[in-house]
Structure 1
Amino acid sequence: MGCGTSSKKGNTSEKVCTDLVSSTQLVTSALILENQQDLIVRAASVIQNWYRRYSARLKARQHYALAIFQSIEYADEQGQMQLSNFFSFMLENYTKTNNEDSALVTRLFDNTGLGNKSQDREEYVGLIDVPDSYDGPRLQFPLTFTDIDLLLQAFKQQQILHAHYVLEVLFEARKVLKQMPNFTHAKTFPAKEITICGDLHGKLDDLMLIFYKNGLPSENNPYVFNGDFVDRGNNSMEILMILFVCFLVYPTDLHLNRGNHEDFMMNLRYGFTKEILQKYKLHGKKILQVLEEVYTWLPIGTIIDNEILVIHGGISESTDLNILCQLQRNKMKSVLMPPMLMDQEVAVKTNKSGSVNAEPGKVESDKSPSEHLTKQEWEQIVDILWSDPRGKKGCYPNTSRGGGCYFGPDVTSKVLNKNQLKMLIRSHECKPDGYEVCHDGKVITLFSASNYYEEGSNRGAYIRLSYGAAPQFFQYQVTSTSCLNPLHQRVSAMECSAFKILKERMIARKTDLINAFELRDHSRSGKISLAQWAFSMESILGLNLPWRSLSSHLATIDSSGSVDYMSSFDDIHIEKPMKDMKSNLSEMMYRYRADLKIIFNIIDSDQSGLISMDEFRTMWKLFNAHYKVHIDDSQIDELASTVDFNKDGNIDFNEFLRAFYVVHKYEKPDSSFA
């Protein structure tokens, strides 16, 4: 029967037909919709997987860049620690040096704090007037909260605190710090938390952000600042003044622990000395002399609720809190100045003419042995300032930094249990998230300087502790224009900077690297396997990096996987003041430029920036003898003569070192891991 044979039946049939068509359309639409949804889901899945891979690659690149920054930072600290061996060497060799050399060595140690007496307040502050034209902050002693606010507002406007007030603050801080024990004690209550901050390293914006988020220090808002206030950043003086002024207003509610950078020898390498001399050209040296002593009076730790130990670095299996509580901490002038005078049994006595008489087997110095730490006491402080936790059990030398030790979870448990403590909070290491928890929750690493290596490289963090509660972590990151860039741009910038400093490390060991490469290039083809290249890089540079993963950034690799090892140096070279200078000499000067500059700055007691030809030769001979760098004296004499441009018998040492700088011919395009 057709669809339209009868009106009644026809209507029914038409309705059935219409329903069938509608049902078919609905089914078809549903199938189409289902297919579209399936396509959308699959497309979303593809996009999600792509984004996850993309994010993972960015994370990997960021991780590699941070590994480079940290490895080179620790290698530099290792070089800094090795200076203590150099100073030991010079003391050991007093009897072997001629009069000229001995006179220079005497000057060196006269200017390193070994013979410095406590500075007189009136001699320094009383002779410095504040002119009417000075429009910066004027502090009123005794200090109050008003002075804290005044200082913060002035520093926000990039004003400089006058040297008169800087010295006043330092002398006042010294007076109060002298009354403090080696370990200060703090208590929390349910209604009174305490905030702990890690390394700040001269980053004023981070400190301002912490105070903005967490409030200013007060009796009801106590703080612990766990060392490394200075160096590397541009505002170490501002941070130091803010912390000391807050400390003087709230001496029982703001705790300042000494870090490994509260050390005048560290400041010579890592920037704070230079910052002071630039900001205070007239009175900078006086500030440095007083600051050197103030450092020694900083407490070395804080104990909270008799349960939580807060120290800058870490512990070792021999850490003894009884010894640390009883030693005279002000005897620790610098980690780079170990108590050699006692151990060496060398007498050094300077007569009025400046010559040196040295007699082995007898101790005669301006300071009696009681004014120096014992070797055991010195090592105890070095351990708590320099050590780092690791997952491996036991206690073993900190080969990365060259000072302190690595300590495992068993060492943590042993020391905490022995002293009836529950937790160790330490700083000293940059962490991507600003903090890290390890050793079964018993050790917390806290780092408060965000963007430490490069913009976007890491977040900062602080901790709030309340009685009987778990620590609360607060993270932040100071933002700038570059921080608003897309993540891939920030990672690329950080990566570029990391590979640049790694290349500089490579060029400083170019001769040694080439020798290592050629040793494995038996066919003299100029190519070696990737494994051989990676082994050579690690054995010479000792940076413990994932060299295989980094290889495409550092050298040319052919289709068979062989590395053209000379391509590692294609885009970088060291400038030389002499065209015919041997490569190993220019590399040596570049490699040890920071050490040489520190020694020069110590010798250059009048801060003239000049060093005599004889002093330069003597300094280098001593350095050469200790480091065994095998550079002929004739080369040094020729070099010294060449850089004495006006032939006045003096060398502008800063200009001399600037002659040995690395030139990057070009930057490689961003073909990274993405």
Structure 2
Amino acid sequence: MGCGTSVRTGSPAKKSERAIRAAILIQRWYRCSVARLEVRRRCTLSIFQSIEYAEEQAQLQLATFFTFMLDQCSHPSGTGTDWISHLFHSSSECLKSSEAHEQLEYSKVEVPDSYHGLRLSFPLATSDTNALLHAFKKQQFLHARYVIQLLHETKKFLKQLPNIIHLSTSNCKEITICGDLHGKLDDLLLIFYKNGLPSGENTYLFNGDFVDRGQNSMEILVILFAFLLVYPNNLHLNRGNHEDHIINLRYGFTKEVMLKYKSHGPIILKLLQDIYSWLPLATIIDSKVLVLHGGIADTTDLDLLSSIERNKFKSAVRPPRSKTESRLGDAGPRREVGPKMSHLNSQVHARRATPELSAAEHKEWKQVINILWSDPRKQKGCSPNNFRGGGCYFGPDVTSKLLKKYNLKMLVRSHECKQEGYELCHDGKVITIFSASNYYEEGSNRGAYLKLRSDLVPRFVQYQVSKCTRKLTLQQRVSMAEEAAVRSLREKLYAHRSELLAAFRKYDQEETGRISSSEWASAVESVLNLDLPWRTLRSRLVRLASDGNVEYLSCFEDLKMEQPIKQVQPNLVETLYRYKTDLKIIFNIIDKDHSGLISIEEFRQTWKLFSSHLQINIDDAAIDDLARAIDSNKDGSIDFNEFLEAFRVVQKFETKAIH
């Protein structure tokens, strides 16, 4: 019998060794891939946050313009400007106005027979809150009559509360703390689905920023206020920095209310101003956990916060003003320019006295704005929060000092979007909780809520509302968010084109169109002040030459104005594009009848005030050219929506996926 020969491919030991090496190689590849993806996610979030905080700075600057604008008012009676004055005048004037609101009989607001939506009966019961949830899930509408009554009842309840609420876990199984919701109703509904509805056994604390940005801020307020009235001992609300009528003008809530409630919108907005001012400022759990929206400063005094009249400051962003301020010089009699703009005049000669806040009132105002706007940082000490434009940065030493002073264990705050919905810092003593998932873009972040029991050990629950991201891979979701962030950043570059070109050309004396990467990064940072890793972002924003230098003109080349106005100076077009959001806010205030039309003269006078306030050097002839160019019907008025569309930037070429 013959014997066959067998071929041996290697010993089992060698096979095992090769398998291990392959596994290690795959593991290294996977870890590198995940690490790169995480870097991209963090960079994307950084871009979104930098642009967001720059917008907040712009809003604070706009708030000072509103004060400047009202200093130019002639205040004629009967012109319909009382709502505008109420929006921006001092607290004493607001208090007088709110007295008139108390006289409003909401029962006189008629509910037509054609209305087939939910009808509330007061005092509210659990059946009403359940009906509200059911109706809003189906995107149904709650009539203004019930909204107004709910707001009145909420205001009456909030006025009875102290500035700082004290809660105890001994009265319930646990307390659930939710962060920013920002009008995202789906996140609130998901929280209730996962964690149960507020009840006598299920206590919630919502830590501010219920409104703005999302599409359903009004529904969120209605749900929270209804549960507040039904379960006053088990649902609690802290004020956030977006519970502020001036902030609402920029970030969408004012517009949402006016679109949904039309003629009743101004009444609802006025009531909400009062409600904002009566919301508690902070909550302390078991005398150990301080919960507030933003943060603290080295001067934060909880005893002082407990004693101030919190409703005095209708808007936390309006700074104290000097006793007398010089106004524009006397240049002749005032000139009326139309029914909507009769309160705005470019020729003003009055010097008006403004009540000066005392040192004590100024100190109180600083206490409030610090707890609403501040952010923690790794660096020690306390410094102004120039990134946002309000509040301060506080370090771990500031946290430790305050916790020790009041015998506290930790600080829970919100105010900042976090990739995973929460974050611990300052050695675990500061917790940030953020409950609006997909805040910047679909897939950009998770939401989370925090559960505290009697042991005060934080337990986090994460989630992500999504209608489409589950169909995408993680890499696809990151790419979607990244693409949106980079596009926003490119539009920011385009809005500052002239300033950037001037900064680039300082380094390019020979006009080669190229500068080094470090020079490009320095120039961009000096103009935009966004505190971003520009060298890392360079390859996504500009084209690199063969020698490694930056071709700086390439950051503008695939963007263009959708409807260029040829008759208008390019620098004016760029300026209008840059301040488009601010102008939209101002024009919406002027357009009290919401017709979408303002007169050319109103446009001229508003722009002159705005450019004077910001010290924008645009001559009157250029403004007149623009006014004639945008008056398409030649009837002395402009359609504001068409005007905004003329200053929309689009990409010349199809956007390529970012890898």
TM-score by length of 1: 0.88
Residue identity opposite 1:181 in structure 2: P
Give the alignment partner of residue 185 of structure 2, picking from 204, 212, 216.
204
Give the alignment partner of residue 160 of structure 2, picking from 176, 179, 196.
179
**Structure 1 residue 361 displacement after superposition:** 8.0
Please tell me whether Structure 1 or Structure 2 has the larger radius of gyration of its CA atoms: 1
> How big is each residue's C-alpha offset from its partner over 1:130-176, in whole Å with a ceiling of 9 and x where there is no partner?
22332222112100111111111111111111111111111110110
2-side partners of 1:98 and 1:442: how far apart? 52
Q: Which residue of 2 aligns with 1:271?
A: 252
Q: Does 1:446 align with 2:439?
A: no
2-side partners of 1:576 and 1:45: how far apart? 56
Give the alignment partner of residue 114 of structure 2, picking from 133, 136, 142.
133
Q: Does 1:64 align with 2:64?
A: no
**Structure 1 residue 46 displacement after superposition:** 2.1
> How big is each residue's C-alpha offset from its partner over 1:409-432, in whole Å with a ceiling of 9 and x where there is no partner?
111122222223221110000001
Quote the RMSD (CA, aligned, Å): 2.9
2-side partners of 1:361 and 1:286: how far apart? 29
**Structure 1 residue 177 displacement after superposition:** 0.6
**Structure 1 residue 276 displacement after superposition:** 1.6
1-side partners of 2:522 and 2:595: how far apart? 45
**Alpha carbons of structure 1 residues 632 and 360: separation in structure 2 relative to 1, 3 Å:** closer
> How big is each residue's C-alpha offset from its partner over 1:300-340, in whole Å with a ceiling of 9 and x where there is no partner?
11111112111100111111222211221112111333332
149-158 vs 314-323, greater mean Cα deviation: 314-323
**Structure 1 residue 506 displacement after superposition:** 0.5
**Structure 1 residue 395 displacement after superposition:** 0.8
Q: Which residue of 2 aligns with 1:4?
A: none
Q: Does 1:35 align with 2:14?
A: yes
Q: Does 1:403 align with 2:390?
A: yes
Gaps of 5+ in 2: 328-333, 337-341
Superposition pairs of residues 341-356 of structure 1, within 5 angstroms: none
Q: Which residue of 2 aligns with 1:456?
A: 443
**Structure 1 residue 514 displacement after superposition:** 0.7
Contact kept? 1:339, 1:372, Cα under 8 Å: no
319-328 vs 626-635, greater mean Cα deviation: 319-328
**Alpha carbons of structure 1 residues 106 and 215: separation in structure 2 relative to 1, 3 Å:** closer
615-624 vs 165-174, greater mean Cα deviation: 615-624
Q: Does 1:321 align with 2:302?
A: yes
Matched-pair identity in %? 53
518-527 vs 465-474, greater mean Cα deviation: 465-474
> How big is each residue's C-alpha offset from its partner over 1:533-583, in whole Å with a ceiling of 9 and x where there is no partner?
111111111111111111111111023211110011111122455214222
1-side partners of 2:122 and 2:557: how far apart? 60
**Alpha carbons of structure 1 residues 168 and 345: separation in structure 2 relative to 1, 3 Å:** farther
**Alpha carbons of structure 1 residues 369 and 545: separation in structure 2 relative to 1, 3 Å:** closer
Give the alignment partner of residue 173 of structure 2, picking from 192, 208, 217.
192
1-side partners of 2:658 and 2:269: how far apart? 46
Q: Does 1:162 align with 2:140?
A: no
SS of 1:473's partner is strand
Contact kept? 2:567, 2:626, Cα under 8 Å: no
1-side partners of 2:568 and 2:430: how far apart? 51
Q: Does 1:284 align with 2:271?
A: no
Contact kept? 2:567, 2:625, Cα under 8 Å: no
> How big is each residue's C-alpha offset from its partner over 1:334-392, in whole Å with a ceiling of 9 and x where there is no partner?
1333332757599xxxx9x98899875855xxxx8799992222221111110000010
Q: Does 1:73 align with 2:52?
A: yes
1-side partners of 2:145 and 2:622: how far apart? 47
> How big is each residue's C-alpha offset from its partner over 1:493-513, in whole Å with a ceiling of 9 and x where there is no partner?
111101111111010000111
> How big is each residue's C-alpha offset from its partner over 1:68-90, in whole Å with a ceiling of 9 and x where there is no partner?
11110111011111123324445
427-436 vs 645-654, greater mean Cα deviation: 645-654
2-side partners of 1:425 and 1:165: how far apart? 34
Contact kept? 2:175, 2:451, Cα under 8 Å: yes
**Alpha carbons of structure 1 residues 526 and 98: separation in structure 2 relative to 1, 3 Å:** farther
**Structure 1 residue 109 displacement after superposition:** 3.4
**Alpha carbons of structure 1 residues 327 and 359: separation in structure 2 relative to 1, 3 Å:** farther
Give the alignment partner of residue 666 of structure 1, picking from 633, 653, 656.
653
Residue identity opposite 1:220 in structure 2: E
Q: Does 1:120 align with 2:101?
A: yes
SS of 1:31's partner is coil
1-side partners of 2:357 and 2:519: how far apart? 54
2-side partners of 1:223 and 1:359: how far apart? 51
Q: Does 1:567 align with 2:543?
A: no
**Structure 1 residue 98 displacement after superposition:** 9.3
SS of 1:578's partner is coil
Q: Does 1:109 align with 2:94?
A: no
Gaps of 5+ in 1: 1-13
Contact kept? 2:178, 2:449, Cα under 8 Å: yes
118-127 vs 313-322, greater mean Cα deviation: 118-127
> How big is each residue's C-alpha offset from its partner over 1:406-458, in whole Å with a ceiling of 9 and x where there is no partner?
01111112222222322111000000111111112211111011111112111
SS of 2:539's partner is helix
